[in-house]
Structure 1
Amino acid sequence: MEVQELLQINSIANNFIAQLRDKEIQKDRMRFRKNIERLGEILAYELSKELNFSSEKIATPLGESTVNVLRNELVICSILRAGLPLHQGILNYFDEAENSFISAYRHHPNNDENFEVLVEYLASPSLENKTLILADPMLATGRSFTNVLKALEPMGKPAKIHLVSVIGSEEGIEYLKQEFPENSKLWIATIDKSLDKNGYIVPGLGDAGDLCFGGKLQH
């Protein structure tokens, strides 16, 4: 699996990452969601450079123009609930894409730091021979992505898989390289070095779902 890290080259994306990490700015949920959406747009733009295009003649009021236009059949699949703002950012650029939604959450059966990732809900079109974009803002252990990929297997085999994330850990990325097809590609804004004992990215930014939408009761 190939990895493309956005912040290897300085751009306005640096500002959005800085604001997402800042514990004071995080208190503004609307701004937090908007910054994830903005990064989704930037990552979608970068991803688009590797999709398939063909020429099309366009009639203008004054003549005719030939333009290369996107030809991929895209399906954007987001992991609920933190994935929703990222999904919207990607969809802002790929407005004709089909959409898939799936739940994946950490379940702590023994009420300690050990957890398993459970998938309980899926709504998806066929993925057969389409380009699948899997979106989740936080790539910690990598298990959410792999469990989602397994849950999507009955929907068909994609021609290509792109993963989109905002912040990931080196450990999680190495895990995904072993689990995803070799021709898959990860598009990520920035990569942190470590995970804590609870499997959260350090320095990271905290729980993206809670910061987007508010706290939740555990079950």
Structure 2
Amino acid sequence: MTVHHIAQNNSILNKFIAEIRDVKIQKDSLRFRRNIERIGEILSYELSKQLLYKTSSTTTPLGIKETSFIKDNLVIASVLRAGLPLHQGLLNYFDDAENAFISAYRHHPNKDENFEIVVEYFAAPALENKIVLLADPMLATGQSLVAVYEALKKHGLPREIHIVAVIGSQEGIDYIGENFPENTHLWIATIDPSLNDKGYIVPGLGDAGDLAYGTKL
């Protein structure tokens, strides 16, 4: 797996990452969602450089101009519900892409810190030989993404997978690297060093779904 750690190079991205982490700014859910969306746009731009292109003619009022357009068939597949603002950021740039949505959540059968990943809702087009952009803002243990990948394969094998995340732990990155195809790309805004005993990223930002859409039962 190829890891593209975008925050390694200073840019305006740093401001958006800092704001989604900030406990005071987090209270504004609209701003939180918009910052996740903007991070998705930046990651989309960087990711677009790795896609295949074809040349086509554009007619202007004064002549003809040859322009390169994306050749690949893209599917944006987002993990509900936290992935929705990130999905919108990707869709703002890849507006011709098809869309898929998957629900994946941690289930604690024994009411303790141990959990399993449950994938229930799944809506997707055929994925065979397409480029899948798999969007999930928080890459903690990596177990959710691996479970989602197993569900995706039932709809056809993509030609290439690009995982798009906002914050990840090194442990989670190592885990998905062991469980995704070798030609997978990870586009991640920033990487944090560790997980706590509950499997949450430290320093992280908390629960992205709750911050975007309110607490759940």
Q: Which residue of 1 aligns with 2:45?
A: 45
TM-score by length of 2: 0.99
Q: Give the counterpart letter for 1:184 in structure 2.
A: T
Structure 1 residue 96: deviation in Å?
0.5
Q: Which residue of 2 aligns with 1:124?
A: 124
Q: Which residue of 2 aligns with 1:204?
A: 204
Mapped to 1, the partners of 2:57 and 2:200 lie a distance apart of 50
Mapped to 2, the partners of 1:16 and 1:85 lie a distance apart of 13
TM-score by length of 1: 0.98
Q: Which residue of 2 aligns with 1:74?
A: 74
State, as a whole percentage, how many aligned pairs show the same letter: 64
Mapped to 2, the partners of 1:23 and 1:186 lie a distance apart of 27
Residues 13-162 of structure 1: pairs in structure 2 closer than 5 A: 13-162=13-162
Structure 1 residue 42: deviation in Å?
0.3
Q: Give the counterpart letter for 1:31 in structure 2.
A: R
* Structure 2 residue 165 is matched with structure 1 residue 172: no
Q: Which residue of 2 aligns with 1:215?
A: 215
Structure 1 residue 152: deviation in Å?
1.0
Q: Give the counterpart letter for 1:170 in structure 2.
A: Q
Mapped to 1, the partners of 2:171 and 2:105 lie a distance apart of 19
Q: Give the counterpart letter for 1:64 in structure 2.
A: I
SS at match of 1:120: strand
Mapped to 1, the partners of 2:43 and 2:97 lie a distance apart of 15
Q: Which residue of 2 aligns with 1:4?
A: 4
How many residue pairs align between the two structures? 217
Mapped to 2, the partners of 1:58 and 1:24 lie a distance apart of 47
Structure 1 residue 131: deviation in Å?
0.2
Mapped to 2, the partners of 1:68 and 1:102 lie a distance apart of 32
Q: Give the counterpart letter for 1:150 in structure 2.
A: E
Provide structure 1 residue ranges, at least 5 long, that are not aligned to the other structure.
none
Question: For each residue in 1:9-68, what CA deviation from the matched residue of structure 2 results, as whole angstroms up to 9, or x when unmatched?
Answer: 000000000000000100000000000000000000000000010111111111010011
Q: Which residue of 2 aligns with 1:189?
A: 189
SS at match of 1:182: coil
| Structure 1 ranges of 4+ moved more than 2 A | none
Mapped to 2, the partners of 1:199 and 1:215 lie a distance apart of 19
Mapped to 2, the partners of 1:198 and 1:115 lie a distance apart of 9
Mapped to 2, the partners of 1:195 and 1:64 lie a distance apart of 54
Q: Give the counterpart letter for 2:162 in structure 1.
A: H
Q: Give the counterpart letter for 1:206 in structure 2.
A: G
Structure 1 residue 192: deviation in Å?
0.3
Q: Give the counterpart letter for 1:23 in structure 2.
A: V
